[in-house]
Chain A
Amino acid sequence: MTVFLSQSFTGISIGAVLLLIALGLSLTFGQMGVINMAHGEFIMAGAYTTYVLQQSIGGAGVSLLLSLPLAFLVAGAMGVLLEWLLIRHLYARPLDTLLVTWGVSLFLQQLARDIFGAPNVQVRAPEWLTGNVRLIGGEHPFTLAHNRIFILALALAALVSLALTLRVSPLGRRIRAVVQHRDLAEASGIATARVDRVTFFIGSGLAGLAGVALTLVGPIGPTMGTNLIIDAFLVVVVGGIGRLRGAVIAAFALGVLQAVVEYSATVSVAKVTVLVGIVAFLQWRPQGISTLRTRSLV
């Protein structure tokens, strides 16, 4: 029983990381109508930002806290640059965008190898994140590791901030308007190109935060983003495109399912089980968990 609980909590923290990635992915997906294949490399950029900061500052706690805003900025700036240099010229050309961003993804991986070397590196976790909270004692204890609690809190804070921004701020209204009807937004006096850039900044910045979170649970390397981007894409598809609530449910469900199956079988069996589950789910509900109600066709 406690083993099951422990695995579930591990799954929830994996889900939290997936959620951070999927939120950003679904933001940029809404803008350009296609998956940004380089999104995974923004995760890597966030992780290496933490690494570099720790190498130059030293203190694990200070560098971790500083790396949160900095990784957001670094990954966000990379996203803006990508949008400005390439993607904005390719709007309404989904296949080209897919190929170009994939190329950028490979380019960034190689760049990371050239700068930091091919082997994975480890970021030291600060002391206050190495312990755990014991909920059930005895022979089969159920404990919550501090670092995983931290990741969960980080993801929830990001989720709430994003949801509030989208729901109530003028910027959020503009972002939703551009996603729903680009021409009408432009015709209503909204500088849609600028909104695109801000959206890319936020979406990519969230990937950077995910990168920081990942330094707490394992080594980081140039290809760390590749696997995650596929899982995050699955979250976006299962959750329903452009819907926060669906993404939240899907991310945690996927994380827990993966962790629990992984424990009772192997990693490969877990992957297969999850994929089969998703295929079955999408047969039943092709539009994803959460859908939109509207009478209008646009």
Chain B
Amino acid sequence: MLEIDGLTAGYGRSTVLHGVSLTVPAGGVAAVLGHNGAGKSTLLRAALGLLKPQRGTVRLDGEDVTRLAAHQRVRRGMAYVPQGQQSFPQLTAAENLRLVADGHRDGRAAMAEALDLFPVLRELAGRPAGLLSGGQRQQLAIARALITRPRLLLLDEPTEGIQPSVVAEIQQTVLDLTAGGALSVLLVEQHVHFALRAAARYYVLEAGRVTSSGDNDGGAAERVREALSV
């Protein structure tokens, strides 16, 4: 589904990623683990095209999308939930979703489905997104990403900074979404336990390099913890 090969990227003169390679299998979940500042979010931004890589390629279903703008990659089936519960703060919750539904063929139906997934958003439809709680905004962000009916979802720390009562709900949603096998996910996480509950493959990122990777078999949790503790 997604193949990243030798990706080197950064901001200005500072390089954050040094030749990162990884693959997300079709219908599967790959988790990227690592400490703060390891380059996890940069990796997602470069995968989507918000950041132009200095070297390396990004392939989506075999097609080289490295030179495409982010919105073109979204049209080809990628979707992105950024870290920090980002939204368009002065648009209402409903407008946040309609914005994406506008440009999509069966956007209305997709929007209704996304609202079914998070019924609380129906009650909050008329509120500016900037006035929602962190958990509500994260649900809004996931709903917004799903409206394009993506084949590949880039999820950046979906439960980071969210009130504990909502964390379990969001984790369950992520597990449900990936259970059907129609959606592939590249999941960036700090919580090893949750990441390995969801993922079939794992990659440990340290200072912009993949230092450990493999299938999520019985010993994966131990290997990940070991790689992260160094």
The chain A residues found within 8 Å of chain B, CB to CB, are: 170, 173-174, 176-177, 180-181, 183-193, 292-296, 298
Contacts and interface: CB of A to CB of B under 8 A. Distances in A.
B103 interface: yes
Contact of B131 (A180, A187, A294): A294
A187 B99 contact: no
B82 interface: yes
B10 to A, nearest CB: 16
Given A187-B48, A296-B137, A177 B69 contact: no
B158 to A, nearest CB: 15
Interface of A is mostly: helix
A176 B130 CA distance: 14
Contact of B71 (A176, A181, A191): A191
A170 B91 CA distance: 12
A292 B90 contact: yes
A76 to B, nearest CB: 23
A177 B102 CA distance: 13
Contacts of B82: 183-184, 187
Given A173-B99, A292-B90, A187 B137 contact: no
B: interface residue count bin:
20 to 34
Contacts of A176: 88, 90-91
Nearest to A184: B86
10 contacts: A170-B99, A170-B102, A180-B88, A183-B50, A187-B50, A187-B80, A189-B71, A189-B104, A193-B69, A298-B89
B50 A190 contact: no
Contacts of A293: 128, 130-131
Interface of B: 48, 50, 69-71, 74-75, 80, 82, 85-91, 95, 98-100, 102-104, 128-132, 137, 144-145, 148
B88 A177 contact: yes
Given A174-B102, A293-B128, A295-B131, A187 B89 contact: no
Contact of B95 (A173, A192, A295): A173
A174 B75 CA distance: 16
Contact of A181 (B48, B80, B88, B128): B88
B55 to A, nearest CB: 22
A294 B74 contact: no
A251 B98 CA distance: 33
Contact of B50 (A186, A191, A292, A295): A186
Given A177-B99, A188-B71, 16 more contacts: A176-B88, A176-B91, A177-B91, A180-B90, A181-B86, A181-B87, A183-B82, A184-B86, A187-B70, A187-B80, A188-B145, A189-B75, A190-B71, A190-B103, A294-B89, A296-B137
B91 A188 contact: no
A281 to B, nearest CB: 24
Given A186-B71, A189-B74, A180 B86 contact: no
Contacts of A184: 82, 86-88
